[in-house]
A and B are shown apart, each in its own frame.
Chain A
Amino acid sequence: MPDARSPMAAPRSFVWTRRIVLTVLTAFALAPVFVMVVSSLKPLQDVQGPFRWFPSGFTLRPYADIWHTVPLARYFVNSLLVAGGATLCSVAVAIFAAYAVSRYDFKGRRFFSVTILSTQMFPGILFLLPLFLIFVNLGNATGIALYGSRGGLILTYLTFSLPFSIWMLAGYFDSIPRDLDEAAMVDGCGPLGALFRVVVPAAVPGIVAVCVYAFMTAWGEVLFASVMTNDTTRTLAVGLQGYATQTDVYWNQVMAASLVVSVPVVAGFLLLQRYLVAGLTAGAVK
């Protein structure tokens, strides 16, 4: 991977700043993870005991129990389907819209942008009930079950991430020189040809960032999922609360389950992160 910046050796002050800042940020990012790992390895009666850096009495039991207390595997698959579906649709729709916003000076452009953004300003808790009503009535009118289905949830989540995805992508598209797509059009590509042959490849880092954002929006959403899902379609974000039962809260299992389900996601990040630095330097140089 070539450096974006000059190959000139970095001065000591920079290297030291980098070491210190990154160390502090790593500690900040991982402190709760440390607590989670330690808590997930404790028997339940010790979980709420006083904090110690090196606690005694480890057990792997929670990692075995998590699968039986709640149907974790099913929730995981649901979350994956819902978040994956919402991400794909959201990013596809956003690419078209962002291209329009970035490359065309059409009438109503500003109005569209602000309207789209305004959807993020209304507290979710208040359109929960109206949306539920619309889904139920849509279901009654068309026979498509949106309420309680994964499709309904995908539809909902995709619109959650869509506005910011459009805005962010439009920002990335803006930073790609227009000469590039104009050159492509001179070569005989249509505007959409230019989009897919030039702009999209050049914007890969931005698109990956937006994918991650869209995925995580859907992955973590709690409120709508709690009302719009049932037994079979419940997602992880809601399902994890199932460890808090009437008689007990299995904190150690909550932590163990969270870690287990996060491992694939973090592994996905690890795979994706190299595309975050592809982009213009690699793709767009003709």
Chain B
Amino acid sequence: MTATVPPVRHSSKTPSPGGRRAAGGRTPLSRLRLPARLRRASLPYVLLLPALALELLIHLVPMVVGVVMSFKELTQFFISDWSAAPWKGLDNYRVAVDFNAPVGEDLLKSFLVTCEFTVLAVGLSWLFGTAAAILMQDAFRGRGLLRAVFLVPYALPVYAAVITWSFMFQRDTGMINHVIHDQLHLTDGRPFWLIGDNSFFALVTVSVWRQWPFAFLCLMAGLQNIPRELYEAAAMDGAGIWQQIRRITLPSLRPVNQVLVLVLFLWTFNDFNTPYVLFGRAAPDAADLISIHIYQSSFVTWNFGSGSAMSVLLLLFLLVVTVLYLLATSLRRKDA
């Protein structure tokens, strides 16, 4: 893949004619005998080529294969020879969306749980990240250290971090119950966190813990591009610090937020590692995320056709949400 990068970089050293002097025709060093206008028009495509080629190879082609799989009866009887698997047409889809039958009903339930989980986890992660980034915009003693500390959850290996949380959530020996029951006496009995309905909150907690440093990182970087003059002008107008945050900081973060929230949304929605390590291959109903559900419907049951059909439905849903989101946020951006 790196083979495609050098030509681009090479031409960057070439004193390019640039758009506005293009009328002059060929450049002295031009090797490509293309009219300058065409070169200019093709430049964005050349820039995108490496990214496109890679995504095509690693994601898009396998995704197309995945879509093909969803129309096949790809059970364990056929995985060693896919071409022999019989076509099933839309059967896999029909089973997945038949919400009166057990498979469809469970899928729908899992989908709704995932939606709730995602809204909560993304909201909190964003909130924590924004709060920390804004509060740490001004220099104070220990700021650098604190920045690194906040990135620690991000640096710890997922497996070990989530296992640690599961230790903490254990009913009889965990830190959480020790604090809320033994020390603060907030609950009557010792609640379970890893089984039953509370598992939802356990999952949200761990997910937020893992995600918010990422939000923090992006927003902190985003804050650096807000011109200082804006604040100075606002201060001259007598705006206090809270007003500055509301009137300058938050609106300026909008482009970063647009991407960040979308990223967090997709990421959380498809998160597999956290629930898998926390609950094993059978998550409690209250925390049965769709990724785990699809994993069960494909790897555990070895029915890759049905799992693929569910994934394609998921893909369509996320695509619709994403496009709507982008339309909505872009419109707002233009209004603003």
B130-158 interface code vs A (CB 8 A; 1 in, 0 out): 01100111111000111111111111111
Q: How far is the CA of A132 from the CA of B259 in the complex (A)?
A: 30
Please, what's the 1-or-0 string for A28-47, where 1 marks a CB less than 8 Å from any CB in chain B? 11111101100100000000
B 21-62 binary contact with A (CB < 8 Å = 1; else 0): 000000000000000000011011101101110110111111
B217 CB within 8 Å of chain A: yes
Which residues in B have their C-beta under 8 angstroms from that of A277? 220, 224
B75 within 8 A of A: no
Q: Quick check: B50 and A93 within 8 Å, CB to CB?
A: yes
Instruction: For A268, give the chain B residue with the smallest CB separation.
Output: B155
CB distance from B214 to the nearest CB of A (A): 7
* A220 close to B (CB within 8 Å): yes
Instruction: Say which one of B6-14, B93-101, B196-204 lies at the interface with A.
Output: B6-14
Complex Cα gap A109–B12 (Å): 22
Interface flag for A6 (CB, 8 Å): yes
Residues A246-286 near B (CB distance < 8 A)? 251, 254-255, 257-258, 261-262, 265-266, 269-270, 273-274, 276-281
* A155 at interface by CB-CB < 8 Å: yes
On chain B, the residues within 8 Å of A4 by CB distance are 137-138, 223-224, 226, 228, 231
- Residues from chain A with a CB closer than 8 A to the CB of B250 are none
| Residues from chain A with Cβ under 8 Å of B2 in the complex | 89
Dominant secondary structure at the A interface? helix
Bound-complex Cα distance A123 to B51 (A): 20
Report Cα–Cα, A213/B173, bound state, in Å: 34
Does B126 interact with chain A (Cβ within 8 Å)?
Answer: no
A57 within 8 A of B: no
B85 CB–A CB distance under 8 Å? no
Decide if A119 touches B55 in the complex (CB within 8 Å): yes
Report how many A-B pairs have Cβ atoms within 8 Å: 368
Residue ID in chain B nearest A20 by CB atoms = B135
Interface string of A228-258 (1 = CB under 8 A from B): 0000000011001100000000010011011
Shortest beta-carbon distance, A65 to chain B, in Å? 16
Which listed residue, A100, A188, A213, A241, touches B15 by the CB 8 Å rule? A188
Task: Tell me, yes or no, whether A96 is within 8 Å of chain B by CB.
Answer: yes
How many whole Å from B206's CB to the nearest CB in chain A? 9
Q: Looking across the interface, which residue of chain A has its beta carbon closest to that of B60?
A: A119
> Do A121 and B304 have beta carbons less than 8 Å apart?
no
Quick one: CB contact mask for B221-251 with A, threshold 8 Å, 1 for yes?
1111111100110110000111010000000
Does A213 lie within 8 Å of B156, measured CB to CB? no
Q: A21-B131, A31-B175, A222-B158 are in contact. Are A120 and B235 (CB under 8 A)?
A: no
A118-B43 contact, Cβ under 8 Å, with A8-B235, A29-B149, A155-B54: no
Q: Which of B161, B214, B225 contacts A279 (CB 8 A)?
A: B225
A206→B270 contact, CB < 8 A: no
Residue A68 lies at the interface, judged by CB distance under 8 Å to chain B: no
Residue in A35, A120, A273 whose CB lies within 8 Å of B266: A120
Main DSSP-derived SS at the B contact region: helix
Asked whether, in the complex, the Cβ of A188 is within 8 Å of the Cβ of B18, the reply is yes
Smallest beta-carbon distance B308→chain A, Å: 6
Chain B residues 290-325 with CB under 8 Å of chain A are 291, 294-295, 298-299, 304, 307-308, 311, 314-315, 318-319, 322-323
Contacts of A89 in B (CB 8 A): 1-2
Known: A31-B168, A237-B158, A240-B159. A6 touches B16 (CB 8 A): no
**A143 on the interface (CB 8 Å rule)?**
no
Contact with B along A91-103 (1 / 0, CB 8 A): 0111011011100
Bound-complex Cα distance A196 to B12 (A): 8
Cβ–Cβ contact A100 & B221, under 8 A: no
Assess whether B1 is in contact with A167, with CB atoms less than 8 Å apart: no
Q: A49 near B315 (CB under 8 angstroms)? A: no
Q: Does B275 contact A (CB under 8 A)?
A: no
- 9 extra interchain contacts, Cβ-Cβ under 8 A, other than A26-B150, A212-B217? A101-B48, A125-B291, A130-B69, A155-B1, A168-B218, A171-B259, A237-B157, A266-B155, A276-B147
B interface residues (Cβ-Cβ under 8 A, vs A): 1-2, 5, 8-9, 11-12, 14-20, 40-41, 43-45, 47-48, 50-52, 54-55, 57-63, 65-66, 69, 128, 131-132, 135-140, 144-161, 163-165, 167-168, 172-175, 178, 209, 213-214, 217-218, 220-228, 231-232, 234-235, 240-242, 244, 252, 255-256, 258-260, 262-263, 266-267, 270, 272-273, 291, 294-295, 298-299, 304, 307-308, 311, 314-315, 318-319, 322-323, 326
Chain A residues proximal to chain B, CB less than 8 Å: 1-6, 8, 10-11, 13-14, 17-18, 21-22, 25-26, 28-33, 35-36, 39, 48-52, 89, 92-94, 96-97, 99-101, 104, 106, 109, 112, 114-127, 129-131, 133-134, 155-156, 158-159, 162-164, 166-168, 170-172, 174-176, 185-186, 188-193, 195-196, 202, 205-206, 208-209, 212-213, 216, 219-220, 222-223, 236-237, 240-241, 251, 254-255, 257-258, 261-262, 265-266, 269-270, 273-274, 276-281
